[in-house]
């Protein structure tokens, strides 16, 4: 597939919350990629960090006390998300308990996975280890993310 265009909000900069989208041309024989592999919808929220029964997927190359993670198999975590910091909405991160580490970044956080309407609510961005275990983090997919997706959809 050939990359047609990409979009990111004007405020994007290294170290800040950023969102980007890639638009792919249809393949001349096989058509749209999402028709071949599937696609989830999105839920965009403002100041809503607590979600129940979230499925996080990734390809971790290492994990918290998990030597079997080798970046070659999709792994997952399942649990609830909570507000990651005391300064919401200025710190719009969510966190969840998850033992996946490096390599899982970019993987989706999916709410309602076991229903007929699974939705992406976040994306794995980073993790932290502590004596209690490992936590993963995602920024909240808010209006900035919604605008990015809308822009990408208007290009295709």
- Say if CB 9 and CB 18 are below 8 A apart: yes
* Residues 71 and 112 grouped into a single domain: yes
Question: Are 49 and 88 in a shared domain?
Answer: yes
What pLDDT, on the 0 to 100 scale, is given for residue 63? Answer: 77
Tell me the per-residue pLDDT of 10-64, one tens digit each, with 9 for 90 and over.
Answer: 555 455 545 667 777 888 998 888 888 777 878 888 777 788 899 999 999 887 7
Residues 72 and 101 placed together within one structural domain of the fold: yes
Of residues 6 and 86, which shows the higher confidence score? 86
DSSP-H helix ranges across the chain: 33-37, 143-155
Average pLDDT in the 63-78 region?
84
Q: Are 133 and 60 in a shared domain?
A: yes
Statement: residue 8 has pLDDT above 70: no
| 151 and 82 inside one domain | no
- Mark whether 111 and 151 lie in a shared domain: no
Q: Which domain holds residue 118?
A: 45-140
> Contact at 8 Å (CB) between 148 and 9?
yes
Phi, psi of 26 (to 5 degrees): -65, 145
Structural domain count, the chain: 2
Kindly report the CATH number assigned to the domain that includes residue 103.
2.40.10.10
Question: Based on the domain organization, do 120 and 109 belong to the same domain?
Answer: yes
Q: Is 101 in the same domain as 33?
A: no
Q: Which pLDDT score is estimated for 9?
A: 52
- Which DSSP letter does residue 90 get? T
Tokens coding 86: 């005391």
Phi, psi of 35 (to 5 degrees): -70, -25
**pLDDT above 70 (res 155):** yes
Give pLDDT, residue 142: 77
Quick one: 29 and 91 in the same domain? no
Asked if 19 and 84 sit in the same domain, the reply is no
Cβ 99 vs Cβ 128: under 8 Å: no
The per-residue pLDDT for 151 is 79
Cis, peptide link before residue 89, omega less than 30° from 0? yes
Instruction: Count the residues in the chain.
Output: 156
What are the residues whose beta carbons fall under 8 Å from the beta carbon of 59, sequence distance 6 or more?
A: 71, 72, 73, 74, 75, 103, 104, 107
pLDDT single digits (tens) 96-124: 999 888 888 888 999 988 888 898 998 88
């Amino acid at each position: 597939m050939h990359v047609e265009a990409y979009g990111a909000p004007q405020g994007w900069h290294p170290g800040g919350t950023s969102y980007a989208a890639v638009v792919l041309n249809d393949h001349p024989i096989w058509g749209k990629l999402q028709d071949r592999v599937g696609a989830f919808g999105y839920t965009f929220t403002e100041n809503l960090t607590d979600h129940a029964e979230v499925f996080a997927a990734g390809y971790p190359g290492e994990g918290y006390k998990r030597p079997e993670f080798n970046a070659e198999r999709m792994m997952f975590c399942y649990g609830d998300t909570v507000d990651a910091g005391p300064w919401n909405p200025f710190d719009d991160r969510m966190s969840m308990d998850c033992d996946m580490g490096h390599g899982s970044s970019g993987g989706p956080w999916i709410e309602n996975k076991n229903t007929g309407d699974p939705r992406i609510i976040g994306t794995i961005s980073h993790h932290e280890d502590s004596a209690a275990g490992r936590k993963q983090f995602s920024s909240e997919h808010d209006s900035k993310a919604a605008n990015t997706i809308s822009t990408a959809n208007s290009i295709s």
